[in-house]
Amino acid sequence: MKVFIETYGCTFNQADSEIMAGILNEEGIELVNSVDDADAIIVNTCYVKLPTESKIINRIKTLQDKFPNKKIIVSGCMVEVDPKKLENIGPNCSWIGPHQLNKTAEVVKSTCNGEIVRESGFSKESKVCVPKIRKDPYIHVIQICEGCLGACTYCCTRFARGTLNSYPIEDIKSEAQKAIDDGCVEIQLTAQDTSAFGKDTGEKLSDLIKEVANLKGDFKVRVGMMHPKNINGDLDDLVDAFKLPKVYNFLHLPIQSGSDDVLKHMKRNHTVEEYKKIVRKFRSEINDLTLATDIIVGYPTETSEDFKKTIDLVKELKFNLIHISKYQHREGAISSSLENIPFEEMKKRSKLLSDIKFQIIEDENKRLKGKDLDALVVEKGSKGGFIAKTNSYIPIVVDNVEIPSFIKVHIDETTGTYLKGHKI
């Protein structure tokens, strides 16, 4: 019995695939690197955006048409968010919901024996200290909690991931130390909202970061996305945690809009000024901070004046990284009942914001030309060379280095997306 796992979406989803792979391996089921070699194919789905949904639907249809004798098992967010559509496109597919990963081997075995097995629904099963097979031998992803405390009107992911379920700090520390002892040099702490960690258990994200960053070994810690509304009450301690030498100076803090009116419609539960207060605190105390954000362009209630406020905020804060999404209705999301703004207007706004974004990032990166920076080599480049990450988590393309290694790099060239340099 041979299984191929195909993964879409975020770091959290990638970690789910690593768990499924670990469980299958424990059961003696062979994992293969090609669809052609597999008896069964697990498609781990993402459903956060419409283009991704369309890509996944086409992929499931293609797999069924091209490999009629192979078993198809669908996992991930689509199972919980849109089971009716999944039933229509894959009536013979088995399912593994994102909260049912512990049943992966059982579903695969039964499916390969000709049954259609569908495991879905919510549970409080921990995703820490369970079998995993890493996608990257030197990067270890730990899911610190699942679910969120938000009610964002545009989001369907919360219907798949459920309410907040934080995992104990001691368990997370134990998994991190084992990964470090195994040779991992980067620990990624991930969640739908890392700043919500511990709100249900009485623990705090700042304490978790400090505990992990003080473990023995040579490694770096990357902290995943934080919702601004959950940082208040832990801000000072979080900044202290980010000051630790093993923590990347990288803050992923989605704003979504620069307009308080739009943020209120989105039910983000924070204001622009509250967001800026967090940014000012981090930037005042952490040198060379990389500030990443997410922005939705064309939310149904976004006026031209609202969009101008977003542009003004981007110019003011000079984000180092911006993920821009054009608004699209999502299954079950509250905002899907609203009328879309004209697509041409949305496209125009997205283009304008993208142009400003690239100019800002290019200008910010130019400041680094000629500097000598500490970096961690973590992977091969897709177009040759190797990728090293600075302490601020900025990628540098560099040649003639080893994976993994801590190096010092002289920056020879900069672009709007990466740096290029040579090892000193």
Q: Tell whether the model's pLDDT for residue 232 goes beyond 90.
A: no
Q: What is the pLDDT of residue 43?
A: 98
Q: Are 7 and 73 in contact (CB under 8 A)?
A: no
Instruction: Determine the pLDDT at residue 418.
Output: 83
Lowest mean pLDDT among 166-170, 238-242, 382-386: 382-386
Q: CA–CA separation, 259 vs 195, rounded Å? A: 22
Per-residue pLDDT tens digits for 81-131: 999 999 999 999 999 999 999 999 999 999 999 999 999 999 999 999 999
Is the pLDDT at 210 greater than 90? The verdict is: yes
User: What are the two backbone dihedrals, phi and then psi, of residue 321, each rounded to the nearest 5 degrees?
Assistant: -155, 130
The answer to whether the bond into 168 is cis (omega within 30° of 0) is no
Q: Determine how many CB atoms are found less than 10 A away from the CB of residue 123.
A: 15
% the chain with pLDDT above 70: 100
Whether residue 233 is predicted with pLDDT greater than 90 in this model: the reply is: no
Q: What is the model's pTM? A: 0.96
Asked if residues 350 and 327 have their Cβ atoms less than 8 Å apart, the reply is no
Q: Which residues pair with 222 in a beta bridge?
A: 188
Residue 415: pLDDT band (50, 70, 90) is: confident
pLDDT digits (tens, 9 = 90+) for 261-315: 999 999 999 999 999 999 999 999 999 999 999 999 999 999 999 999 999 999 9
Tokens of 104: 């992966």
Token readout for 393 is: 């988590």
Closest by CA position to 15, among listed 46, 60, 47 = 46
pLDDT at position 416 over 90: no
Specify the pLDDT at position 183. Answer: 97
How confident is the model at residue 228, as a pLDDT?
Answer: 97
- What distance in Å separates the CA atoms of residue 72 and residue 290, rounded to the nearest whole number? 41
pLDDT at 168: 98
Please determine, for residue 239, whether its predicted confidence score (pLDDT) is greater than 90: yes
pLDDT, average across residues 145-168: 96
What does the pLDDT average to over 232-261? Answer: 97
CB atoms within 10 A of CB 371: 14
Answer yes or no: are the C-beta atoms of 133 and 33 closer than 8 Å: no
Q: What is the mean pLDDT of residues 340-345?
A: 96
What burial class does residue 311 get, using C-beta atoms within 10 Å of its C-beta: 0-12 exposed, 13-18 middle, 19+ buried?
middle
Residue with tokens 């040759």: 384
Mean pLDDT of the chain: 97
pLDDT band at 230 (very low <50, low <70, confident <90, very high): very high
